[in-house]
């Protein structure tokens, strides 16, 4: 049987206020559940402009029409507009996801600062980043988080060690093909890594002239039988300007009889399969600017 998990990354205030409700309505129509991962801290989206010198960044902005996807106001946060603390304005929308039966977990605190400056940040800064995200999760949901996924599929030895201390069921900090336990400094950690296995809509859109429908077809064809399939999406994109494309994607999953499960629901089976232990590396992937962690 083909089985797939929908990983919903919520990066921004706009994606929280508008994208979450839009996706909840869409998932309800299709009778599907997803795993929602929230950023809780400051929306510093405007600071992403420093990626302009990164290989592939301008091409991706052009292909995907980033201003249309994210909106002018979001792209000014942290630059010309103050960076709002997301959870303080969008806690109600976050709770709606859990009330609708979906999994809720952590995507982080300050998405942009982590994404862009990870390797420049001290252990103290990263420790504080995790602490604030976990404290905000408890503030919103009243209990500790059982899962987390890092911004932009980026991690390093320090983040993996810090994350280990929270005793979560799993984390999703990389791309790859199967669940595994990360090895750091020669030691296998106990927090299971669940990689994203499939390319995202914004990575493929416009690449080699692909239309939204052709992107959907390509991803449907990549879903493997009896294997881990994780598809990542963003409330700002699939819950916004490209909602119609994602709605068609969900319909295609149903037509192909692909079973959709949350990460939390699937975790016990992943762990019972005795996942391997391996080190996480880095690589570039088509359609994405800069490196991602890969396991």
Handedness of CA 212, 217, 221, 225 (dihedral sign): positive
Contact 102, 21 (CB under 8 A): no
Domain of 101 in residue numbering reads as 3-294
* Residues 295, 120: Cα–Cα separation, whole Å: 22
The CATH number assigned to the domain holding 38 equals 3.20.20.370
pLDDT tens digits, one per residue of 34-81? 999 999 999 977 755 443 334 444 344 444 444 555 555 556 655 556
pTM for the model stands at 0.91
3 state DSSP class of 7: strand
pLDDT tens digits, one per residue of 180-224? 999 999 999 999 999 999 999 999 997 888 999 999 999 999 999
Between 155 and 67, name the one with better pLDDT. Answer: 155
Partners of 103 in the beta sheet?
35
Into how many domains does the chain fold? 1
User: How large is the average pLDDT for residues 274-293?
Assistant: 95
At 64 the pLDDT is 47
- Please give the mean pLDDT across all residues of the chain: 91
Contact 5, 47 (CB under 8 A): no
- Residues in the chain, total: 295
Handedness of CA 4, 290, 240, 94 (dihedral sign): positive
């Amino acid at each position: 049987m083909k089985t797939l998990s929908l990983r919903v990354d919520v990066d921004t205030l706009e994606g929280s206020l508008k994208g979450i409700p839009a996706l909840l309505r869409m998932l309800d129509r299709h009778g599907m559940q997803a795993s929602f991962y929230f950023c809780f801290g400051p929306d510093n989206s405007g600071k992403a402009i420093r990626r302009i010198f990164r290989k592939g960044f301008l091409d991706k902005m052009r292909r995907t029409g980033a201003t249309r996807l994210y909106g002018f106001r979001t792209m000014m946060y942290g630059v010309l507009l103050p960076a709002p603390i997301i959870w303080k304005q969008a806690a109600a929308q976050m709770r709606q996801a859990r009330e609708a039966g979906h999994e809720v977990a952590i995507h982080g605190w300050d998405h942009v600062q982590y994404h862009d400056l990870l390797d420049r940040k001290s252990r103290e800064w990263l420790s504080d980043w995790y602490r604030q995200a976990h404290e905000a999760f408890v503030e919103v949901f009243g209990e500790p988080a059982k899962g987390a996924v890092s911004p932009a599929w980026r991690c390093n030895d320090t983040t993996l060690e810090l994350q280990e201390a929270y005793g979560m069921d799993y984390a999703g900090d990389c791309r790859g093909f199967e669940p595994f336990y990360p090895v750091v400094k020669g030691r296998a950690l106990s927090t299971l890594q669940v990689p994203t296995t499939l390319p995202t809509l914004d990575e493929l859109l416009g690449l080699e002239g692909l239309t939204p429908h052709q992107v959907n077809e390509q991803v449907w064809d990549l879903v493997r039988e009896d294997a881990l399939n994780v598809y990542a999406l963003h409330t700002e994109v699939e819950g916004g300007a490209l909602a119609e494309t994602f709605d068609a994607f969900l319909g295609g999953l149903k037509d192909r009889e692909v079973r959709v499960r949350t990460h939390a629901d699937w975790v016990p089976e992943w762990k019972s399969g005795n996942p391997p232990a391996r080190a996480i590396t880095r690589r570039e992937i088509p359609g994405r600017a800069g490196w991602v962690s890969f396991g």
